Chain A
Amino acid sequence: MSAGKEQWGTRIGLILAMAGNAVGLGNFLRFPVQAASNGGGAFMIPYFLSLILLGIPLMWIEWSLGRYGGVRGSGSTPGILDAIWKSRVAKYVGALGIFMPFVVMVYYTYVESWSLGFSLLSIFGAFPETGGIEEMTHFLRAYQGAEMHASGMFGNVDTGAFIFPGLAYGFFLVTLGANLWFLYRGLSGGIEKVALYGLPALFLFAIVLMVRVLTLGTPDPAIPENSIANGLGFIWNPDLSALSNPQVWLAAAGQIFFTLSLGMGSIHVYASYLSDKDDVALSGLSTSATNETAEVVMGGTIAIPAAVAFFGVAATTQLAAGGSYNLGFVTMPVIFQQLPLGDLFGALWFFLLFIAGITSSLAMGQVVLRFLADEFGMTRSRAVALLGAVVFLCTQPVVLFIEYAYMDELDFWAGTFGLFVFGAVEVILFAWVFGIDRGWSEIMKGADIRLPRIYKFVLAWITPLLMIVIFLAWTWLNAPSVLMMDGVPAENRPFVIGARLFMLVSLAGFFYLIRRAWRDKEGPRAQERERARAA
C-alpha cells in the first residue's frame, strides 16, 4: 500500500501519535532550563499567554491545513500550500515542510540512539561508579567518539582523522532500523501502535521518576538549602521583574512553538489522513494539552529540581547553561548513581527519552514517505527503503564529526530557524491569503467542540502578528552571529560550512523533486492522460 491511502485505526491512536510527535526531548530538557533561566514562575505568564494566543491557534491551523490537503490528495506541505495559495511559488515554499523533517531526522535519530544506548548501559551498571560531572562528561564524549576511553568499552577506533564510535554506531543502526520497521508497518500498524503503547509507558515512567524526585527531600542534611523544595522553587518562584525583559517573552513564545512541533510539516501529514468530516478542533486542543502535561507537570519536576537537590542552585545554573544534552546525558546519570536502585531509575529516564524521541522521528519519516507516495506514487516499501538509505548516508558526517559542531549547525538552521520561517509563512497564508472566513469554516467543520468566537479574531490578527514579531525579533537576535560563524573555532569552520552545503543540496533536491512531480501532474503528458480518460 502507498503511504497516501492509509487511515488511522482509532481516534485516540491519532491523538496519541500527534502528542508523541510533539512530546520530545525538549519537554524534559529544554523547558525546565528555559523556565529556570527566564524568571522562574514569572516565565509561566508569557508561556501560557503564548500557548493560548500562538500555540493552540497554530495547532488548529496545521490540523485543518493537513485535513484540507489530504482530502484533495496532498498530505505534505508542497501540495497543501499549492492548494490554498494560487501561486507558482507555493509548492516551493511548501518544500520547507519536507526539508526540515528530513534534515532533523538525520541528526535526531542519532541523538535518539544515545537514549537507547544509555538506557541499556544504565541497566548493566556501566556508568562510572565514582561518577562526578567531569567523569560522566568524559564518558559521554567517549561514547560519542569525541575522545578515546581507557576502558575500551566503546569499541572506538582512532583513525587519526576522527575517532569512530563503535558502540554508539551500533545503537544508531538499531534505532534507525526500528524507525524504518515501524514506518514500513504503516500508519495504523506501526506509528499508531508505537503511540498507543509508547505514550502511556512514557507517562508512567515520568510519573515514577516524578515521585522519586519529589521524595528526595534534602539528600545531604549537611547542606539543607540543597533540597527538592528549593529545586521546585528554582523553577516556580516568580521573579516578576523578569516580565519587563522582552527576552523572557521571546523565550516563552519560542518554547511554546518548539514544544508543540509547530512549523515543521509533520502535524499536517498526520492530519492529512482525516476525512473531511472529522473533527480538528477538539483533537488539536487535546494534542496541545497532552503535550503541556508532559512538559509543565512532568518535564518541570524531574531534571532541574533533582539537580538543585544534589548540586545546589549555583551549580545547576552552570549545568543548565551547558545545554539540554548535558543536563540529560551527564547530570541525570550522576544523580541516579547516588540513589538506591539508581541504575533502574537511570534506565527509566533514558528509555523515557527514547520513547519521546522515536515518536517524534517517526513523524518526520512519515512526512517524506507521504510526499513520495502522493507525488510519485511510490509504494511504502520502496519509499521506506529509499528514505532509510538516504538517512543512513546523510547521518555519517553527523556521527563522525560530532565534536566539530556539524550537528549543531543542522539543528540551528533546519531544527530552529526553519521552523520560525515556515510557521510565519503558513499562518500568514492561512489567515490572509486563504482567508480567515474560509479558514474559520475549515477549523469548525465537523468540530466536536464550539470554539469561542473571539478565536476568529485571534487567528486573523493576533496569531499572525505575534508570529511575525517573534520571527523578526528571534532572527535579529540569533541568526546574524550564527551566519557569520562568530565564536566558531577555526577547526570547526570547514564542518560548519559542510553542514550548510548539505542543507543547500538537500533543499535543492526537494525543489527538483517538486518541479518534476508538478511537471508530470500539469505537463502535456498529464493533459493527454486527462483527455484520454475523458474520451
Chain B
Amino acid sequence: MTIGGWILLITAWGGIIGLTLWCIIRVLRTPWQE
C-alpha cells in the first residue's frame, strides 16, 4: 500500500468513525419518546 493509500484510508476512517461517534453521543444525550 502506498503512502497516498494510507493517508486516504486514515482520513476516511477517522472522518467516518468520528462523525458516527459524535452522532451517537448527541442522540444518546437527547432522547425522546423514552
In the complex the two chains form, what is the Cα distance from A285 to B31 in whole Å? 15
Binds B, one of A291-299, A325-333, A437-445: A291-299
Contact residues in A for B34 (Cβ distance below 8 Å)? 9-11
Are A10 and B33 in touch, CB under 8 angstroms? yes
Are A41 and B5 in touch, CB under 8 angstroms? yes
Are B26 and A282 in touch, CB under 8 angstroms? yes
Are A11 and B27 in touch, CB under 8 angstroms? yes
In the complex the two chains form, what is the Cα distance from A278 to B27 in whole Å? 12
Are A233 and B5 in touch, CB under 8 angstroms? yes
- Using known A-B contacts A11-B32, A292-B16, determine if residue A283 contacts B27 with beta carbons closer than 8 Å: yes
Are A12 and B16 in touch, CB under 8 angstroms? no
Are A48 and B12 in touch, CB under 8 angstroms? yes
Are B30 and A41 in touch, CB under 8 angstroms? no
Contact residues in B for A238 (Cβ distance below 8 Å)? 2, 4-5, 8
In the complex the two chains form, what is the Cα distance from A367 to B15 in whole Å? 33
Are A286 and B16 in touch, CB under 8 angstroms? no
The reply on A133 being an interface residue by CB < 8 A is no
Are B16 and A11 in touch, CB under 8 angstroms? no
Within 8 A of A (CB), among B1-34: 1-2, 4-6, 8-9, 12-13, 15-17, 19-20, 23-24, 26-28, 30-34
Contact residues in A for B9 (Cβ distance below 8 Å)? 41, 232, 236
Are A11 and B1 in touch, CB under 8 angstroms? no
Partner of A44, one of B6, B8, B33: B8
Are B27 and A15 in touch, CB under 8 angstroms? yes
In the complex the two chains form, what is the Cα distance from A87 to B1 in whole Å? 55
Within the complex, the shortest CB–CB distance from B26 to chain A, in Å, comes to: 6
Contact residues in A for B32 (Cβ distance below 8 Å)? 11, 278-279
In the complex the two chains form, what is the Cα distance from A177 to B20 in whole Å? 33
The reply on A8 being an interface residue by CB < 8 A is yes
In the complex the two chains form, what is the Cα distance from A278 to B31 in whole Å? 10
Contact residues in A for B28 (Cβ distance below 8 Å)? 12
- Using known A-B contacts A41-B8, A282-B23, determine if residue A236 contacts B31 with beta carbons closer than 8 Å: no
Partner of A289, one of B5, B8, B23: B23
The reply on A416 being an interface residue by CB < 8 A is no
Are A448 and B2 in touch, CB under 8 angstroms? no
Are A232 and B5 in touch, CB under 8 angstroms? yes
The chain B residue sitting closest to A277, CB to CB, is: B32
Are B33 and A8 in touch, CB under 8 angstroms? yes
Partner of B1, one of A10, A233, A296: A233
Within the complex, the shortest CB–CB distance from A296 to chain B, in Å, comes to: 5
Contact residues in B for A317 (Cβ distance below 8 Å)? none
Are A237 and B1 in touch, CB under 8 angstroms? yes
Contact residues in A for B33 (Cβ distance below 8 Å)? 7-11, 278
Partner of B17, one of A10, A40, A297: A297
Within 8 A of B (CB), among A250-301: 278-279, 282-283, 285-286, 289-290, 292-293, 296-297
In the complex the two chains form, what is the Cα distance from A162 to B12 in whole Å? 47
Are A293 and B2 in touch, CB under 8 angstroms? no
Task: Give 1 or 0 for each of A103-120: 1 = CB within 8 Å of chain B CB.
Answer: 000000000000000000
In the complex the two chains form, what is the Cα distance from A40 to B12 in whole Å? 13
Within the complex, the shortest CB–CB distance from B11 to chain A, in Å, comes to: 9
Are A286 and B8 in touch, CB under 8 angstroms? no
Most buried by A among B19, B27, B34: B27
Are B31 and A12 in touch, CB under 8 angstroms? yes
In the complex the two chains form, what is the Cα distance from A238 to B1 in whole Å? 10
Are B1 and A279 in touch, CB under 8 angstroms? no
Contact residues in A for B17 (Cβ distance below 8 Å)? 293, 297
In the complex the two chains form, what is the Cα distance from A10 to B34 in whole Å? 6
The chain B residue sitting closest to A230, CB to CB, is: B1
Within the complex, the shortest CB–CB distance from B8 to chain A, in Å, comes to: 4
Contact residues in B for A292 (Cβ distance below 8 Å)? 16, 19-20
The reply on A229 being an interface residue by CB < 8 A is yes
Task: Give 1 or 0 for each of A127-149: 1 = CB within 8 Å of chain B CB.
Answer: 00000000000000000000000
Within 8 A of B (CB), among A420-479: 448-449
Are A297 and B27 in touch, CB under 8 angstroms? no
Instruction: A236-B5, A236-B6, A290-B23 given; name 11 further pairs at CB < 8 Å.
Output: A10-B31, A12-B28, A12-B31, A40-B5, A44-B8, A44-B12, A48-B12, A232-B1, A282-B26, A289-B20, A293-B16
User: What are 25 A-B contacts defined by CB distance under 8 Å?
Assistant: A7-B33, A9-B33, A10-B31, A11-B27, A11-B31, A11-B34, A12-B28, A41-B9, A44-B12, A232-B5, A232-B9, A233-B2, A236-B8, A237-B4, A238-B5, A282-B26, A285-B19, A286-B26, A286-B27, A289-B16, A293-B16, A293-B17, A296-B12, A297-B16, A448-B26
* A-to-B contact residues, CB < 8 Å: 7-12, 15, 40-41, 44, 48, 229-230, 232-233, 236-238, 278-279, 282-283, 285-286, 289-290, 292-293, 296-297, 448-449
Q: Lowest 10 CB-CB distances: which A-B pairs, in order?
A: A233-B1, A286-B23, A236-B5, A41-B8, A237-B5, A289-B20, A289-B19, A236-B9, A293-B20, A292-B16
